[in-house]
Structure 1
Amino acid sequence: MSTSAGRRPTPRPRLLAGASALGLATLLLAGCGGAEDESPAQTVDPSEPVSQEDPSAAPTGNATDAQAPALEDLEDAIWDASMAQTSVNASVSGPLEQGQQLFGYNPEAFAGDDAAGAGEDGGAGEDAGAGVESGADALFELSVVGQMQGDSATELNYVPDYRVLQVGETTYQTVGGFIFDYEAQIPAEVEPEVGGAELESALLAEGEWVDVSMGELAVPRTPEELMETLRDHVEETLDGDSLADSGLEPAVETEGEQDVWVYSNEQIELTVLANAESPLLMGLTLQGEAPLEVSFDQWNEAELPTAPEESTVITDQLLQEILSGFVASADQG
């Protein structure tokens, strides 16, 4: 964050000075010591696929009936069947404002040079908003590819290099994404002791990825997390009502070589694989001034990510040493 020349020389909140390395790491999204979910979801063993056949490639005999089943008889099965698969490629695009709501970002992070994304020397902050323009027509793009609950890769266009990899029990985030999340969470009234550009330089001197396994991330790490986020968002959009209670009109259509059931009205369009045993979610659109569009493909065939080279990873221990150095410097100053 830049320091305005006209700012009054009043005592300012200190973001880093006097904080322990543990507290600072929490602020920086490393989240050391963060509470874990007491009831973690069971992961799907990739060596034991739910089905021996890809449901999206299976015959869709129901489509010949020329009538889609009632959504009220299918709604829970859509989410359950989709989350029970082994892998998928999911893509989301829509208004930036909806992206902020979905992932819990402060809109000020996208407000331009005065936002958290603007660094003092034009370093990290200069690029922090480069991936997506602000304004009424601004859009965001997100992709989450991989196992439903396992190895996955997330990319978000909030910055040019915002990526998250979930491989085994370890979560890696690019330095660019790490710095964006750091700056995006700083309240407007707080001037940090360490700006994003300074922190980015220190991190890039040690590696390209940050081990954030102990932290909480705003973006979904796996397709399952994305689906859960979308389902919650749909329910909020409908004021708690279910899709089945929204008056969606059913239809049978063909997309490519697949028969699908489409449920739609002026507000929502839901596209489902025409397979009563496994009605996989294929697409979801929430209408508005600009639509929020979601698509799913490559069911059980999605490419899985590989872990970064060990030499490029800033471990949690190394991150703590870097943060401790900042704390010590701030205390001495």
Structure 2
Amino acid sequence: MTETKARIAILGASGYTGAELVRLLARHPRVSIVALTADRKAGQSMAEVFPQFAPLTLPPLVTIDEVDWTGVDLAFCALPHGTTQQVIKRTLDANPQLKIVDLSADFRLRDPGAYEEWYGHAHQALELQQEAVYGIVELYREDVRKARLVANPGCYTTTAILPVVPLIEAGAIDPSVIVVDAKSGVTGAGRSAKESLLYTEVTDGMHAYGVGSHRHTAELDQEYSKAAGRSVVPSFTPHLIPMSRGIYATIYVNTAPGVDAAGVHRVLADFYASEAFVHVLPLGQVPQSRFVKGSNMCFIGVAKDRVPGRVIVISTTDNLVKGASGQAVQNMNVMLSYPETLGLEQIALFP
């Protein structure tokens, strides 16, 4: 008997995360892509925008207003930050049974005051914000399973939350001293043409940006504080490095009394022992970003510092997969009661 396929819409399919969703979903055995939207690219085919999709039969790119929502089961919103709240509110008002995974930052912060502080304007869909679930499945699986609206976390934050939250919850580290030094590939800045992202502006060098003010910091504040049961204010600095995709986070922590690097490693290894998409390396081994490229994996390494009481935790993900579209598909699988790994079994592409 042929299994019924969920009908999927992708809003914002002409960007990097939209294209990654198409790549992952095109071979997913339980879904059918029925609508693809773009703004400036409306009227074109997906193959005209991304030639790698030429062999596939896909819907044409249309505007959001042209989507026929009849029978659509779930929509991915890969729209720019600040534009999604009204779109989702309008869409759910007309289609209350629709499930949504939002890849923007518009529903990630539970506190409307924090959202206004970090994004510079009041939240436009407060009633939906109250029901939105923060979509790190490894931490909120049962909430995601029951959700209508899932806020897909940021790429930096996914990479930094997965290794740190279990350590805070276990009391293995001092939450008052957490330093996250993270690097991102250029796709993390999106596909829009920007002078600062030209090849000659990016290659042969690296630089910090958003120093002391990057908006992903708010997600770290939120999740670390929730794990600790009190306010936690980590230090976070992002850097742009000349590679197309990947996040690499080196995280410095102070351990709780009586806990050493082996104890930190044991907490993480035990916490993620049964998780399909988080792999904790043996103590002392250091992950590389190429270990996860193109996959939905997060690799974590733990190393002891030369100073007793300090430990270095290193975490890496592909910013377009586990940091965005792959995690979104993982959320979809849980929301639709599919096997969580379905369509996400890819091993990293190497070399």
TM-score (norm 2): 0.26
TM-score (norm 1): 0.27
Which has a greater percent of helix?
2
Higher relative contact order (CA 8 A, sep 6+): 1
